[in-house]
Structure 1
Amino acid sequence: MAKADGVFIYIGTYANEADARSDYDIVKDLHSSGAVGTFDAAVLTKDDKGKVHVNKDETAMRLGGWTGAGVGAVIGLLFPPALIATALAGSAIGAATGHIARGLSRNDVKELGELIDSGQAALLIVGETTLGSALEKAELKAEKRVAKELDVSVKDVEAAVKEAAGEIA
């Protein structure tokens, strides 16, 4: 059972990038209306060479203490660096990866990675557990989806990200 302040991961796959972006806009609207807490999200696509491209809206990255590290951490767990076309470097991502990895089993990682492989585009959201019920009510249009609540504290991840980014002494 996940902690009340735990981390929630959602991945939905889509036939095209436009559909994934449409659901991404719904999630941003949910945040604007106060229905969800902090989160990090990105639309992922793969090119014809199998490289993963991470498409982020810079405004959405700043919707909480994640500073883009939540999505980067999950992508780093799911794909080998050689398959990632977008640079995902930084100590904040490394700090978030360590915490998030503790909440995912090898089977979880395999399931999430295989789901992304099944579509043309994917929406990846990492944030507070309040996302789960809000996303269910929002009825996102993903063809396939996987949602995981991790027994990892959002506050611990955010503190590690801030410390790695030099924001905490």
Structure 2
Amino acid sequence: MAKADGMFLFIGTYADEAAARDDYAIVKDLHAEDVVGTYDAAVITKDASGKVHVNKDEMATRHGGWGGAAAGAVIGILFPPAIIGSAVVGGAIGGIGGHLWRGLSRSDVKELGELIDSGEAALMVIGASTLEAALDKAKLKAEKHVAKQLGVSTHDVDAAVQEATSEIS
């Protein structure tokens, strides 16, 4: 059973970016209907040269103030900066990434990174543990996916985001 204040990570692969965006729209709808709480999400693609591109809509208020930091931190863990073709979040992800890194084993990171490599596009969603049940019911259409409960609390991530944003201001 998931911890009430735990974090959940979903990464699914899709034949193309449009299919990943369709499932992203489902996640946004779930949030609009108050089915899921705080979350962050991104559609990830790879170009012909192997560069990773992160496509987000920046609606920080909808994401409970995370503003891309949680997704950016996971992407920073999974991919070396040299292959990321666009700026993900910036310097604020360091502390957040540290918390999330402790929630993932090395085998988790390898599995998640290989999953993204295998598809034309991917959808990554990270949020409170309640997200898991909502995504299961929504029946997202990923060709393959990995879903993990992370050994980190939403309170720790919230605190890291608050600290990072106060250092920037």
| TM-score, normalisation: structure 1 | 0.94
Query: Match for 1:79: what amino acid?
Result: F
The answer to whether residue 25 in structure 2 is matched with residue 25 in structure 1 is yes
CA-CA distance at 1:64 after TM superposition:
1.0
Aligned-pair Cα RMSD in Å: 1.8
CA-CA distance at 1:162 after TM superposition:
1.1
Contact 2:16/2:121, CA 8 A, preserved across alignment:
yes
Matching residue of 1:6: 6
CA-CA distance at 1:62 after TM superposition:
4.0
Matching residue of 1:147: 147
The gaps in structure 1 that reach 5 residues or longer are: none
CA deviations 1:93-129 (Å, max 9, x no partner) are: 1111000000100000000000001100000011101
Relative to structure 1, is the Cα distance of residues 72 and 168 closer, same or farther in structure 2, using a 3 angstrom cutoff? Answer: closer
Query: Match for 2:100: what amino acid?
Result: I
| TM-score, normalisation: structure 2 | 0.94
CA-CA distance at 1:88 after TM superposition:
2.7
Relative to structure 1, is the Cα distance of residues 39 and 16 closer, same or farther in structure 2, using a 3 angstrom cutoff? Answer: same
The gaps in structure 2 that reach 5 residues or longer are: none
> Which stretch of structure 1 is more off in the superposition, 92-101 or 24-33?
92-101
CA-CA distance at 1:65 after TM superposition:
2.7
Task: Give the alignment of 1:29-44 within 5 angstroms.
Answer: 29-44=29-44
Matching residue of 2:137: 137
Equivalent-residue separation in structure 1 for 2:11 and 2:145 (angstroms) = 6
Equivalent-residue separation in structure 1 for 2:49 and 2:148 (angstroms) = 29
